[in-house]
Amino acid sequence: MSLPTYSQRSLIQDKDTLICFNLAEAKFLLKKVVALKECDTLRKLDAIHIAHLDTTITSLKKINSNNSLLLLNKKEELSLKDYKISFLESSLKKQQKLYKRQKLYKILVGALGTLTTGFVTYLWITK
């Protein structure tokens, strides 16, 4: 495939050089110039789009980082709550043991008081 050749005329007019084309050549060059401007515009739009996508990616990475930190904080909070639960369960078991012991002491003291009162009453009556 060979490119078409164009015949050009050059005119020198008042120290300016003018290049003249026929109508078909001018249409062809005009189409090429319009296509070039369209490509340039599309390149600029692509650059803007890429910049916007980079900004979006950066924002999403920041959101992902924040979510990771939030998840880490929630895990730490959950482990602290688990620790509190285990501490409160052990404290409850200790309190239950103390309650049972106090209840046993109360029964023993009541029984001992009843026996002592009965024994003292028996001694007082037998005298």
CA distances 37 to 31, 32, 42, 44, 82, Å, are: 10, 9, 9, 10, 67
pLDDT digits (tens, 9 = 90+) for 37-64: 999 999 999 999 999 999 999 999 999 9
Q: Are 39 and 28 in contact (CB under 8 A)?
A: no
* Residue found by looking up tokens 């639960």 in the block: 85
HEC string of 40-101 equals HHHHHHHHHHHHHHHHHHHHHHHHHHHHHHHHHHHHHHHHHHHHHHHHHHHHHHHHHHHHHH
In the predicted model, what is the mean pLDDT of residues 87-107?
Answer: 93
C-alpha 125/C-alpha 110 separation (Å) is: 22
Domain ranges of the chain: 11-100
DSSP secondary structure code for residue 14 in this structure: T
C-alpha 120/C-alpha 125 separation (Å) is: 9
In the predicted model, what is the mean pLDDT of residues 17-37?
Answer: 85
Q: What is the pTM of this model?
A: 0.50
Comparison of pLDDT for 14 and 74, the residue scoring more: 74
Q: Are 31 and 21 in contact (CB under 8 A)?
A: no
